[in-house]
Amino acid sequence: MDAMVKSQLKRISTQIRKDIITAVSSAGSGHPGGSLSVADILTYLYFKEMNIDPQHPKNPDRDRLVLSKGHCTPGLYATLANRGFFPVEDLKTFRQADSYLEGHPNMDKVPGVDMSTGSLGQGISAAVGMALAGKVDRKDYRVFAILGDGELQEGEVWEAAMAAAHYNLDNLTAFVDYNGLQIDGKITDVMNPEPIADKFRSFGWNAIAINGHDFDEIEKAVEQAKSFKGKPTVIVARTVKGKGVSFMENLASWHGSAPKKEQAEQALKELDDYLAGL
């Protein structure tokens, strides 16, 4: 990847991380950990990859993204806002009763949200439906889905995986945000879903393992997914839960709790320092 492009993407994902902190701390609740871990993937998809137009969020020919791990709205909303779908300022209204920024994605209220999610396991099925519609209509839009690694414990994920392979949905690319953590602790302690890539392969998918914070690797994997014919692709992206905020990294306790005011200030300062060094 071009160095200029890469540094631009880093700048954007850092801004998105800052906005995640702002949204969650204004709300006093929400899910920073998994939002921070998926921020680079969202940045790459929305700023480099996807065929989308913030002026026409419902264009039938657009690429689609389903955040199957729907609790990570801070990440999705911060990305959509920075991409121009709605004012960044509105992130401060996240989770408020008079705001359109629902705690979990709502496709009717939030511009740019392609599917309402929140009940884990369902988003990937909806993405399969979108990819199937693309095949029926012979359209060339692509569908992306983002799963949590804990979410893989839902049986429905594997029902969807079977269906995607059965119908040769090579227009579907799923990411697994492989941060190793869920609410009650390590995924391997709670209910081990590993080996993740092998499981998808045995379900008939093309599987690629990458570092989910490395834009070169994300780009390479997405390009490979696009050129791979006949099978859906899963990109198992190793990530750090809480990435970019030192005191949140690799801690399950930051899955679903908001930073206090001073903590948010410290997080923003760390991210600003990182931005300054770019």
Partner 1 sequence: MSDKIATRVAYGQALAEIGGNENIIVLDADLSGSTKTDSFKKKYPERHFNMGIAESNMMAVAAGLASCGKTVFASTFAMFAAGRAFDQIRNSIGYPHLNVKIGATHAGITVGEDGASHQAIEDIALMRSIPGMTVVSPADAVSANALVKLAAEMYGPVYLRLGRLDVPVVYDAGTKFEIGKGITLKDGKDVTIIANGFMVHKALEAAEKLEAEGISARVIDIHTIKPIDTELIIKAASETGAIVTCEEHNVVGGLGSAVAEVLVKNRPVPVEMVGVEDKFGKSGKPAHLVEMYGLTAENIIEKTKKVLDRK
- Site membership for partner 1, residue 274 (CB under 8 A): no
Cβ 241 to partner 1 shortest distance, Å:
25
CA distance 124 to 164: 10
Nearest 5°: the CA angle 116, 140, 37 is 45
Residue 255 partner contact from Mg ion, partner 1, ligand TPP, none using kind-dependent CB cut-offs of 5 to 8 Å: ligand TPP
Stretch that binds partner 1, among 17-25, 152-160, 195-203, 224-232 (CB under 8 A): 152-160
- Site membership for partner 1, residue 174 (CB under 8 A): no
Please state, as a whole number, how many other Cβ atoms lie within 10 Å of the Cβ of residue 277.
6
Which of 161, 152, 238 has the alpha carbon at shortest distance from 206? 161
Nearer to ligand TPP (CB atom), residue 215 or residue 254: 254
Site for partner 1 in 39-68 (CB under 8 A): 60, 66
Yes or no: say if 49 and 9 are a contact pair by the CB < 8 Å rule: no
Residue 69 partner contact from partner 1, Mg ion, ligand TPP, none using kind-dependent CB cut-offs of 5 to 8 Å: ligand TPP
Q: Where do the H-state alpha helices sit in the chain? A: 3-27, 32-44, 73-82, 122-136, 155-166, 187-190, 196-202, 215-227, 261-277
Q: Name the helix (H) or strand (E) containing 233.
A: strand 233-238
- Buried b vs exposed e over 194-221: b needs ≥16 C-beta within 10 Å? eebbebbeebebbbbbbbbbbbebbbeb
Yes or no: say if 205 and 233 are a contact pair by the CB < 8 Å rule: yes
- Site membership for partner 1, residue 153 (CB under 8 A): no
- Site membership for ligand TPP, residue 278 (CB under 6 A): no
Site for ligand TPP in 52-81 (CB under 6 A): 69, 71-72
Q: Which of 47, 167, 228, 274 binds partner 1 (CB under 8 A)?
A: 167
Binding site for Mg ion (CB under 5 A): 148-150, 179, 181
Binding site for ligand TPP (CB under 6 A): 33-34, 69, 71-72, 118-121, 148-151, 177, 179, 181-183, 241, 255
Binding site for partner 1 (CB under 8 A): 60, 66, 106-108, 114-119, 121-123, 125-134, 136-137, 155-156, 159-160, 162-163, 166-167
